[in-house]
Amino acid sequence: MGLISGTFGIEELWLRKALKYVRSDPVFLSNKNREHAQQELGMGNRQIDALVDWVVSSNLIEKYKKDKIQCFYLTELGKLTDKYDADFSEDGIFWVIHYHLSQDKNKLWFYYWYVNEFEKQTFSRSDIEIGLSNFKASTKKVINNFGVLPL
């Protein structure tokens, strides 16, 4: 589908956990290591999928394959964040993360639209639903689950 997994919005705690674990274990979030990651993080399978999608889209972690195994590493932004603001206490890191999220017109089309196209200062849920469906033809379920709920 080319969308962020599930109906889970971005979670600061998830980002912090991802940086912590990926720093020391490149296969921690891999499908091969899924059960261990679920136990360590206290998250379900779909939540792990969403975590991977959000943390990659925010440009903190990048995926790669090594010997056919999915691996992850901290990007330059991830390394800087991990070194200087691992607890995400500075507002600046969120500005940078939101910038990266708002650039992905394909996978994060709902986020892209909300940040770059939506101009209303006061709005209702219906305004968002109509705007999203005008921006990208989708079913009401997709608009709600992948557009409205994460926002």
What are residue 75's phi and psi, to 5 degrees?
-75, 180
Q: If you average pLDDT over residues 21-30, what whole number do you get?
A: 94
Residue 1 pLDDT greater than 60, yes or no: no
Residue 2 pLDDT greater than 50, yes or no: no
Closest residue by Cα to residue 29 from 2, 62, 78:
62
Residue 10 pLDDT greater than 60, yes or no: yes
Q: If you average pLDDT over residues 56-81, what whole number do you get?
A: 93
CB burial of 83-93 (b: ≥16 within 10 Å; e: otherwise) equals eeeeeeeeeeb
Prediction pTM value:
0.81
pLDDT for res 150: 64
- Mean pLDDT score of the chain: 87
Convert the pLDDT of each residue in 101-122 to its tens digit. Answer: 999 888 788 889 989 999 988 9
Q: 139 or 6: whose pLDDT is higher?
A: 139
Sign of CA dihedral 65, 66, 72, 76: negative
∠ CA 124-125-128, nearest 5°, is 95
Convert the pLDDT of each residue in 121-150 to its tens digit. Answer: 898 888 988 998 899 877 888 787 767 776
pLDDT for res 3: 52
Beta-carbon count within 10 A of 131 CB: 19
∠ CA 101-123-3, nearest 5°, is 30
Q: 34 or 9: whose pLDDT is higher?
A: 34
Cβ distance 93 to 45 under 8 Å? Answer: no
d(CA 23, CA 26): 7
